[in-house]
Amino acid sequence: MRRLLAGQIGAGVGVFALDLALNMAGGVGLEAVWLVLAQGSLAALISRLLGLGAGWMGVQFALPWAAWGALMLELPSWVFLLIFVVLFALYRNAGAERVPLYLSNAITCKALGEIIDAQTPGDDPHFADLGAGFGGTLIDLAKSRPHWHFVGIESAPLVAMVARVRVAMAGHDTNKGNVEIRYHDLWDADLGQFDVVYAFLSPAPMPRLLEKARAEMKPGSILISNSFWADGVAYDECLEVNDRRQTQLYTLKF
């Protein structure tokens, strides 16, 4: 994010200086279309020099055009506020937590189900999906496991709301309501309640999550992380799921 902003701000300063110099030299500045072209190109170049991947150059180039287009449309200002609120409600955790919203696929859910079925927990076993997204993983797993209680913890408001609606709509399938969505931060959850904890987050929170799991999870319980682990921390197994993205499920038994 910082490099994206640095690219646009750096380009803005450069384009402003160029326009000012042309104005002072000949009395005529650049037309808007050239300003936008210069802004996008320079921002793309700066962000590449700052080490962002090639794909981001396209984003940096397109941003000034999008901003210009939005100005041309003369939309009322509340539209931008509304777009911001919806995006925040969906992607709240992409900024500070550095965890975007993407979902476990059906093959991964099946592999998760096999891991759950291999456990021998006591009465009333509990499964947690930390950052439950739209709740699909839980609904899927709950279908054929009525004796398990599935808890999704999600802090993006719109995502949690959609998950709750989906769970309510799947009420019959999920065998008498053994799925629950809790709208709060995963860092406030007590992992000691759960026999299996699943997380599909990103590399950023993994060191902290593993520390939390080590401090709170009970003996015999298992942590499963989809795709991400922390450098230098041991795990018990890394299962390769036979899906298109060759998902890896890291497991650690306590």
Nearer to ligand SAM, 180 or 185 (CB): 185
Contact 253, 222 (CB under 8 A): yes
Number of residue whose CB is nearest ligand SAM:
131
Q: Report DSSP state, residue 224.
A: E
Backbone phi and psi for residue 127, each to the nearest 5 degrees, phi listed first: -120, 135
Binding-site member from 186, 210, 241, 249 for ligand SAM (CB under 6 A) = 186
Cα of first residue to Cα of last residue in the chain, in angstroms, is: 36
- Gyration radius of the chain's alpha carbons: 24
Nearer to ligand SAM, 42 or 158 (CB): 158
SS3 category, 125:
coil
SS3 category, 39:
helix
- Cβ 111 to ligand SAM shortest distance, Å: 12
The site string for ligand SAM over 86-105 (x = CB under 6 A, - otherwise) reads: -------x---x-x-xxxx-
Q: If binding means CB under 6 A, how many residues of this protein chain bind ligand SAM?
A: 23
> Does 191 contact ligand SAM by CB under 6 A?
no
Binding-site member from 194, 200, 229, 250 for ligand SAM (CB under 6 A) = 200
- Cβ 254 to ligand SAM shortest distance, Å: 21
Binding-site member from 35, 43, 128, 159 for ligand SAM (CB under 6 A) = 159
Distances (CA, A) of 195 to 61, 77, 115, 148, 189: 48, 49, 12, 10, 14
Contact 91, 97 (CB under 8 A): no
Percent of residues in the chain assigned helix, strand, coil, to nearest 5? 50, 15, 35
Nearer to ligand SAM, 36 or 153 (CB): 153
> Does 181 contact ligand SAM by CB under 6 A?
no
Identify residues 116-155 at the interface with ligand SAM (CB under 6 A).
Answer: 129, 131-133, 136-137, 153-155
The site string for ligand SAM over 50-89 (x = CB under 6 A, - otherwise) reads: ----------------------------------------
Calpha distance 50→209 (Å, rounded): 30
Strand residues in the chain grouped as ranges (E): 126-130, 149-153, 179-182, 196-199, 222-226, 237-240, 248-253
Q: For binding to ligand SAM (CB under 6 A), which residues are involved? A: 93, 97, 99, 101-104, 129, 131-133, 136-137, 153-156, 159, 185-187, 200-201
